[in-house]
Each structure stands twice: as C-alpha cells, then as structure tokens.
Amino acid sequence: MTNYIWVPIGIGLLAILFAAFLANYVLRKDTGTPAMQKVADAIFKGAMAFLHRQYRTIAVLSIFAAILVAGVLYLLSQGSLAQKWDLAWHTAVAFLIGALCSGISGYIGMYVAVKSNIRTASAARRSLGEALTVAVRGGAVSGFLVVALSLLGVSLLFTAYGGLTNPQLAPSLIVGFGFGASFVALFAQLGGGIYTKAADVGADLVGKVEANIPEDDPRNPAVIADLVGDNVGDCAGRGADLFESTAAENIGAMILGVNLYLATHNIGWILFPLVVRAFGLIASGIGIMWLRPSIVTEPDKAAGRDPGEIAMKQLNVGYWITCILSAIGVVAGSYLLLQGTGVTGNYNIPGWLWFGFSGIVGILLSVAFVYITQYYTAGTWRPVREIAASTLTGPATTIITGIAIGFECTALPVLAISGALGLSFFLGSQVTMPAVAGVPMVISPGGIFGTAVATMGMLMSCAYILAMDTFGPITDNAGGITEMGGQAEAVRDITDALDGVGNTTKALTKGYGIGSAALAAFLLFTAYLDELFRHNPTPDVYRVDLADISVFIASLIGLTLIFFFSSLAIQAVGKAAKAMIEEVRRQFRDNPKIMAENVADRADPDYARCVDISTKGALRAMVLPGLVAVLTPIAVGVILGPHAEAGLLMVGTMGGIVLALFLNNGGGAWDNAKKYIEAGYLRVNAQGEMVDRAEAGALVLGKKSEPHKAGVVGDTVGDPFKDTAGPSLHVLIKLLSTITLVLAPLFIALHP
C-alpha cells in the first residue's frame, strides 16, 4: 500500500506540467491593438505592484508566526526536550512550506490571469468559442497549480516526515502545513478583497452615479484600480482560499485515518485522501479540455441564442463531465485502498463501497451548491428579478429586498449541508471496524470517516471550480479592455455576455467554497478531538458540554468573532473607498479636461494615484481583522482550555457558514440585478410595473435610468459583502480549525 504515495506525487507533477501547457496555449494568443495593449499593461503593472507589496507584508508576518509557534510548542508542550523540539521544528517548517506554496500558487495564477485578459478580449473579435476557451484555460492555470501544489506539499511532507514508516505520527507533524496555508489565505483574501471593493465602490459611485459615465469608461480615474482589483481579489484571494481548503481537508482526513490504520494495519486509510485528490485532478483536466473553440456550433449561432446562455451551458457540461469522472474516481479509490481485515459492510455490500457512496454524496452536494447559487444569483431566476423590480421604487427598497433575499438564501444550502453530513455519516456507519485497544469508540469511526470521504468527494472538482472562478475576473478585465480600447459594439457584446457569466461563476465558486468549508470544518473538528485524545487518552475528550460555563463562554465568543471580524472587513472597505471617492472627485474637479466632450481635447486621468490609494488602504486595513482572527482562538484556548476551544470552534463554524452564505449570495444577487438592468431586461408597462422582457410595447429602463442608479447603489452595498467579508469568512472558519489542531499540545499543557 505504501507505493500508492507515488500516485499523488506523480499526478501532482503532471498537473503542474498541464498548467504549463495551458499557460503556453494562452500566452501564444495575439494581444490585440496598441490601444488594448496600453490598457492591459496598466492592469498588469498595477496587479503585480500590489501583489509584490502584499506578499512582502505577508512574508514578514508568516516568518514571525512560524517562529512564535515553534517557540510556544517547544516551551509549553508535553514530553521530553527531544520530543518538544521534534514537534516544534517539524510544525514550523511545515507552516513555512504551506505559506510558501500558497503564495506561489496565487502569484503564478494571477500572473497568467492578468496576461489572459487581453488575449480573451482579442479572441472575442473573432468568435465567442475562442474567447470562452482562452478565458477558461487562463483560469485553469491557477486552478491546477493550487490543487497540485497543495497535493504535492502534503504528500512530500508526509513522506519526508517518516509517514511511510511511522504513519500514526506523521499527520500530526504536518498539520502546520495547513496552518501556514490558512494564515496566508486569510491575509491574501482580506487584502485583495479590501483593494478590489475600495476601487469598485469609488469607480461606481462617482463614475456611474455622479458623473453619469459608463462602466470601464477611460475618463474614470478609478477604472484601472477597479480592473486590477478584480484580479487580486478573485484570482489570488480565492486561490489561496481553496489551496487552504484542500490542504486542511487532506491533513484532517489523514489524522482521522490514523485510528483506522491502527485497527487494520492498512496505510491506505491515511493515503486515501491524497489518492482521491489526484483522481480529481485527472477528472478536472478532462473537463477543462472538453471546452475548446469549436464548442460553439453553427446551430447555436443560427438559433440566435444569447451568447451568455451558450457559454454557461458549455461550462456546466464541462463541470458535469468532471463530476461524473470524479464519482468513478472516488469509488475506484475506495476499492483500491479501503479494504482490510475486519472491515465489513451491512447488507452484504462491501465496506469500501459504502465509503464510495459517501464520496458520491459529497460530489452531489457540490452540484447542489452550484445550482442553488445560480438560482439566487443568476438573472434568469426569481431572486435577482425581485431585486431588479425593487429598483423601480429607489435605493432603499433595493437594499431592503437584497437583504431579504440574502437571509432567504441561507436555508437551502444549510439543508443541503445537513443532508450531506447526515447521509454520508449514515453510509459510513454501515461499515464495521475492528476495535483498537485503548481507543474509545464514542463516535462511529466509520460514520466519521464517511463524512471525511464526502468532503474529499466535494473537493475533487476543485481545480475545475477554480478555473470557473478565475474565468470571472479575466472576462471582466476583457470587457474593460474592449471598452477602453475602442473596439466594436459586437466585440463588447461578447465580452459583456462572458462577464455576466463570470459574475455567476464567481458567485457559485464562493458557494462551493463555503460548502466545502462546512464539510471540512466538521472533519477538522473531529480531528481536533482525536488530537486531544492522543495527548490525553480518556473518553471524556469526545464530550463537549455546553452546560460547562467555560464551553458556553467560548462558544459565545466564537459566534461574536464571526460578526466582529465581518464588521472590521466591511469597515476597512468603507474607509478605503472613502479615500478613493474623494480622489476621483478631486480629479474631476481639478482637471475638467478629463470630461471634455471632444476626445482630442481630453486629458488622461491619474490612474496610478488611484491604484496607490487602494494598495495602501488595503495593506493597512487587512492587519487588524487578520490579527483578531488569529489571536482570538489562541487566547480562548490558553485561558479557558482545550474543551472551551472546541466550543468556540463548533459554534464559530456554524455562525460563519450561515453569515458567509448571506453575504456571498446576497451580494451576488445585488450585482446581477444591476447587470440585469444594464442588459436592457428591466421593462415596465404603462402603469410602471415590471413585465416580462418579451412583452410588446414595454418601456426599457436600462443604463443611466433612475432604477439603474438604484441598482448601482445596491451593488455597492453588496460589493464588500460578496468580495471581502464573505470570502474571508471561508478562510476564517478553516483557520480556526488549523490553529486549534496546531496548538492543541499547548492548550493541554496549560490545562492538564
């Protein structure tokens, strides 16, 4: 069984080569006209400048955190000096490697993304199919690098730390890898989210509402900062988020697999998460390659179908291909690795097949999240249309309706998560495991591992989902480049359609991210209890009693942390946006030639000044919420003890899941309601009531109308929800788990 370690290592290396192939395909495409190149170069320089400064800041914080963690574990954990030193240096090195891999994947992925935008814009001059393919493959570079580096990092560390000869100890030693990934992801997502929304809010409120100029108009001083922000928030930030998801889930499942290894002497229980993740990379690669320029057929064009509808259909087909192949992969992995002495299943079904069914449940949950998110954020369904209709009566009703939709949209995802957890636990509990001497079976080991397999199943499509996510900012930038580069209306129609699709794919990726965070959080919570048992082998460690006053207090603090952290993130956007709004107004006031009617008489705005304001504001503002997120669980564990920490982890995770759903989907619905109006779909009859877009004689209320201005205000409120606070909560949920796993020895030592 130990030879199976070469599967994730080999496929991880092949995935990196595949990412290089995709990057080469994209970078060989032409870069359009000189006017388009001028805009693209400004976006590239701004994005790289921000990323350099952000990662320098994160690197200093990471080195300090690694030294601090190593020192604390050495001084305060239990055991001999040699054991303490072993734990300290292994954890610190794993932390730094996790942080480095996360940074590399985000950096390279964003580099290719900001090189893909102009190539997508240029491809749109030729065909929808070519533009779609360039954007998806450009996004897939980030997706495959993220998953491959996560997989290789965990696999190689496990091997280097003696996992093949001493498998019961190695998973606990590499948990620092997940902590390092979480640490970088939190600051990358926070910094990128604050940057992008400060620029976006300033560009929208002053440009669209006050100056009454179109989106991506070259006269808007904040337009380049806005286009840069799309990349640093959605490429680098989301890449770091899902890098951390895959790393933390792999390590958590490996820790759970240790007890099953002790029972069966089959290392396959520990290697299974890595092998399944490798199979998911293969499935995602086939799904990506299905999308190609010729995929948009002549019958599609002849039927006169909306280009956005065509593109969304093709992306969905690629996703279904990925899911079907992933289902085959998880069942095959179960057959190859999850058999052993004493492992039997009920109803004459082999134990490994029950676990295969659990993996399919996770895959189905990912599908459910994709379609639930599309329902709440796509313009073809009721929620977005309700918000669009509410713009007819002004910004106040737009905001009220959007908040109501945001609250509503938490129900279906929570029911889906609950159903998946319950069903995967039931399927796993149909497997009988041999008892392990000294290990209490307080919780069904098969049931818990079943939920772990469901998490693995959901994350198998991670590379494809990330490609769809990065597709969003690439197409958004492509639209800006065609607008500012003076391209024909037909080209802008294609990039606008792809931008609308990208807005939906970004929203569904956030839904996918929070769904995977929910499953991974339960898995990591159980892994934390297993870690407590390893240090203190009594059945009581598996009981977290809310009637215990310290547990209750910690749980309340955990829930409050979620809201306070979100407040800090949104306030940070507000402060940075205020500076941006003042700067844009100043430029319009001090240099009236920017708005000259005659193009030849116009003066260029100072784009660089706006980029600099967003950069400084984001880097300053990301530190406080990041430190609050990191220090709160540490303080609770140190002061109140390991069981109180379990309460904080459990309740904080639940609150984080629900609030993130509200923020992500509510913000996405506001955004697409604005785009619904801009596309000319808001139509009213003589009585001023919204009617179906096909109704004859209806009045179209599009760009520059009063409902459009109300829609822009709603979108502005939703921007920090969906692009800053919501995605950062995904990371916070998993950060709580990885911090508790890493520092469990400290909490136990202080509260023996």
Ranked by mean pLDDT, the top range of 159-168, 411-420, 540-549, 704-713 is 411-420
Q: Which two structure tokens, joined as six digits, stand for 679?
A: 């596309």
Which tens digits make up the pLDDT trace of 396-449? 999 999 999 999 999 999 999 999 999 999 999 998 877 665 555 556 788 888
Which tens digits make up the pLDDT trace of 444-491? 788 888 999 999 999 899 999 889 888 988 998 898 888 888 888 888
At residue 297, does pLDDT exceed 60?
no
At residue 303, does pLDDT exceed 70?
no
In the three-class reduction of DSSP (H, G, I as helix; E, B as strand; rest coil), residue 576 is classed as helix
pLDDT at 304: 56
pLDDT at 737: 84
Nearest to 365 by CA among 413, 409, 333: 413
Which CB contacts under 8 angstroms, 24+ apart, belong to 684-689? 684/392, 688/392
Which CB contacts under 8 angstroms, 24+ apart, belong to 592-600? 594/219, 594/221, 595/211, 595/213, 595/219
Contact 711, 677 (CB under 8 A): yes
What does the mean pLDDT of the chain come to? 86
Cβ neighbors of 357 (< 8 A, separation 6 or more) are 427
Contact 189, 566 (CB under 8 A): no
Pick 433 or 557 by higher pLDDT: 557
Contact 161, 540 (CB under 8 A): no
Start-end of H helices in 430-488: 445-459, 462-484
> How far is it, in rounded angstroms, from Cα 749 to Cα 73?
10
Which tens digits make up the pLDDT trace of 56-95? 888 998 999 899 889 888 887 777 888 888 888 988 999 9
> How far is it, in rounded angstroms, from Cα 520 to Cα 30?
42
Residue 554 — very low, low, confident or very high, per pLDDT cuts 50/70/90?
very high
pLDDT at 614: 83
Tell me which amino acid residue 579 is: A
Pick 22 or 699 by higher pLDDT: 22
Residue 693 — very low, low, confident or very high, per pLDDT cuts 50/70/90?
low
Report pTM.
0.87
The DSSP code sequence of 622-682 is: THHHHHHHHHHHHHHHHHH-HHHHHHHHHHHHHHHHHHHHHHHHHHHHHHHHHHHHHTT--
At residue 299, does pLDDT exceed 50?
no
In degrees rounded to 5, what are phi and psi of residue 344? -130, 160
Residue matched to tokens 């910094």: 191
Integer angstrom CA distances of residue 179 from 59, 233, 241, 631: 14, 21, 12, 13
pLDDT at 730: 78
Distance of alpha carbon 402 from the chain centroid = 22
State the SS3 of 386-420.
HHHHHHHHCHHHHHHHHHHHHHHCCHHHHHHHHHH
Which tens digits make up the pLDDT trace of 599-619? 777 888 888 888 888 888 888
Average of pLDDT values for 373-377? Answer: 85
